[in-house]
């Protein structure tokens, strides 16, 4: 990142990939005292930066991976971290208690920037076979296999229900119609709609478990 | 730098409306994002400010991140499977449209007419060739003194038994049937069985006078039998 003193902002290796949540806790977290943390970062306190990285790196990684795929993920997380820290140091964060809101804004801008860049690159490089940068959104083979299995199970679920129920789920998942729209057009109550969705999901889970159990039997049989 | 994080290090997110204009991020009782709001988020239908609240929560909460991953995977699977089924339905519909489009009332009439003609032709053929359906007529042909010329109906399968008494014995005899002008109607070879040589005429014969001729293996005429088809 141009303009950033990356040496001063380097992240200690032991902090990379650490969970934001305390281990063994299901409690929802709002993070540490953000105001104090912001003050520590402003004061060039290395532990403050480490703490910030520890708290949000997993969440930022998750957000960026979900939106942009796994390519260059670590670089993107690192860039985001640098932007946040630099902005905090420059005093651009007016409400320190809203640090996570600021982080979210930065991440969203990063995503928008990457998408813009990808669109621009694609437009510029249409027809040029050599030197084209293609973002690889594909997961590894294991994930691809899992995705295929999920699709097969979903296919079974959709095949096992009535035509009308299938149409409802198709409208929701494929055509992305809203619940309200579907209920109005298919003459359904919200409860009926929710029930159908949850039953399909339960069946999906059940079939998935069965398949997993069968595989275990084959593996150990 | 601390190695372990304790629950006390964090403040807990409350339940219910937390943002000025009263919009609610649907948190469940345990303070995590509700399945419904995660689903709306996954479908991209969650609006601000609930969207902001949820995303901020997701930046910190690994449990909700995992749940969202599962929801994303489920949605992707359902979407993909639904698309596949829709595609199959679509191609089935297209095929049916093509078939029904080709089958207009007029064309259907033509097809029915052709089927009727074909069935009529088949019936006519069966009627004209009764030999296949009717039982064969068995005739014993003899040439002894006083024996009469045998009669048989036309177009009926015939089972001819030629009497070979008094003829030299051969392992096989050649047999042929000729009409009144000597034109061969059928030929075969047969061995003697119970003092007779048998010959089958599955197609039968047209009305007229015929002769069944018996030959030795060296094609020497041994005997001739008369036959009248009525």
Q: What is the pLDDT of residues A96-154, one digit of tens each?
A: 888 888 888 888 888 888 888 888 877 776 555 544 444 555 567 887 888 888 888 88
Q: What is the pLDDT of residue B119?
A: 94
Check if A138 contacts B (Cβ < 8 Å): no
* CB-based contact, B93 to chain A, within 8 Å: no
Which residues of chain A neighbour B13 with C-beta distances below 8 Å?
28-30
Q: Are B200 and B183 in contact, with CB atoms under 8 Å apart? A: no
8 Å CB contact of B85 and A166: yes
Least confident of A16-25, A46-55, A71-80, A108-117: A16-25
Which pLDDT score is estimated for B114? 92
Q: Is B9 on the interface with A (CB under 8 A)?
A: yes
Residue A25: exposure state from Cβ atoms within 10 A (0-12, 13-18, ≥19): middle
In the prediction, which pLDDT does A1 show? 37
Distance from CA of B99 to the nearest CA of A (A): 23
What would the two tokens of residue A94 be? 């007016």
A55/B60 touch (CB, cutoff 8 Å), yes or no: yes
Mean pLDDT value of segment A170-184 = 88
- pLDDT for the residue B131: 56
Q: Mark residue A161 as left, alpha or beta (left: phi above 0; alpha: psi -120 to 50; beta: remaining).
A: beta
Beta bridge partners of B150: B227
Positions of E strands within A4-95: none
Q: Do A29 and B84 touch (CB under 8 A)?
A: no
Question: pLDDT tens-digit profile of B152-196?
Answer: 988 888 889 998 888 888 888 999 999 988 889 888 888 888 888
B115 sits in which H/E element:
helix B105-128
C-beta atoms of A60 and B59 within 8 A: yes
Per-residue pLDDT at B117: 94
Looking at residue B11, what is its pLDDT?
36
Tell whether B49 lies on the interface with A, counting CB pairs under 8 A.
no
Are the CB atoms for B180 and B188 separated by under 8 Å? Answer: no
Give the DSSP H or E segment for A163.
helix A163-169
Express each pLDDT in A179-197 by its tens digit.
888 998 888 898 998 888 8
Cα separation, A187 vs B153, in Å, equals 78
Residue B126 has, within 13 A of its CA and on its CB side, a CA count of 7
- Confidence label for A17 from pLDDT (cuts 50, 70 and 90): very low
Q: What is the ipTM metric for this complex?
A: 0.72
Choose the weakest-confidence range: A113-117, A200-204, A212-216, B142-146: A212-216
Work out the percent of chain A whose per-residue pLDDT is above 70: 75
B contacts of A166 (beta carbons < 8 Å): 82, 85
The pairing of beta strand B158-163 with beta strand B173-179: unpaired
B30 interfacial to chain A (CB closer than 8 Å) = yes
Q: Is the pLDDT of residue A82 over 80?
A: yes
Low-confidence ranges of chain B (pLDDT < 70): 1-29, 129-133
**A 82-111 residues with CB < 8 A to B:** 100-101, 103-104, 107-108
């Amino acid at each position: 990142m141009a303009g950033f003193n990356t040496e001063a902002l380097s992240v200690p290796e032991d902090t990379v990939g650490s969970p934001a949540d305390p281990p063994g806790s299901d409690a929802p977290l709002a993070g540490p005292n953000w105001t104090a943390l912001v003050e520590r970062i402003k004061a060039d306190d290395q532990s403050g930066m480490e703490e910030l990285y520890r708290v949000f790196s997993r969440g930022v990684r998750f957000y960026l991976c979900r939106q942009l795929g796994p390519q260059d993920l670590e670089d993107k997380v690192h860039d985001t971290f640098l932007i946040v820290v630099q902005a905090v140091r420059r005093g651009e964060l007016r409400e320190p208690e809203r640090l996570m809101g600021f982080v979210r804004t930065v991440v969203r801008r990063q995503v928008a920037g990457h998408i813009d860049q990808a669109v621009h690159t694609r437009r510029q490089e249409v027809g040029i076979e050599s030197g084209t940068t293609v973002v690889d959104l594909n997961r590894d083979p294991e994930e691809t296999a899992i995705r295929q299995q999920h699709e097969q199970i979903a296919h079974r679920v959709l095949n096992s229900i009535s035509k009308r129920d299938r149409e409802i789920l198709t409208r929701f998942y494929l055509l992305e119609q809203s619940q309200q729209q579907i209920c109005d057009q298919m003459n359904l109550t919200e409860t009926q709609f929710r029930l159908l969705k949850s039953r399909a999901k339960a069946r999906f889970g059940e079939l998935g478990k069965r398949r997993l159990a069968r595989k275990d039997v084959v593996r150990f049989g | 730098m601390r190695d372990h994080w304790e629950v006390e290090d964090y403040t807990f997110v409350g339940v219910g409306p937390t943002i000025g204009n009263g919009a609610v991020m649907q948190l469940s009782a345990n303070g995590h994002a509700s399945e419904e709001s995660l689903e709306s988020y996954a479908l991209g239908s969650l609006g601000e400010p609930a969207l902001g609240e949820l995303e901020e929560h997701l930046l910190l909460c690994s449990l909700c991140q995992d749940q969202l991953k599962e929801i994303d995977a489920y949605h992707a699977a359902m979407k993909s499977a639904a698309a596949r089924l829709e595609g199959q339905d679509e191609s089935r519909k297209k095929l049916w449209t093509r078939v029904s489009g080709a089958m207009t009332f007029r064309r259907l009439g033509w097809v029915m007419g052709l089927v009727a003609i074909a069935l009529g032709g088949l019936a006519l053929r069966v009627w004209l060739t009764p030999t296949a359906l009717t039982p064969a007529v068995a005739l014993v042909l003899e040439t002894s003194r006083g024996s009469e010329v045998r009669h048989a109906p036309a177009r009926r399968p015939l089972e001819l038994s030629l009497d070979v008494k008094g003829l030299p014995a051969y392992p096989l005899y050649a047999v042929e049937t000729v009409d009144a002008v000597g034109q061969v109607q059928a030929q075969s070879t047969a061995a003697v069985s119970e003092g007779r040589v048998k010959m089958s005429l599955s197609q039968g014969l047209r009305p007229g006078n015929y002769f069944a001729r018996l030959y030795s293996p060296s094609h020497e005429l041994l005997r001739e039998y008369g036959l009248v088809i009525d």
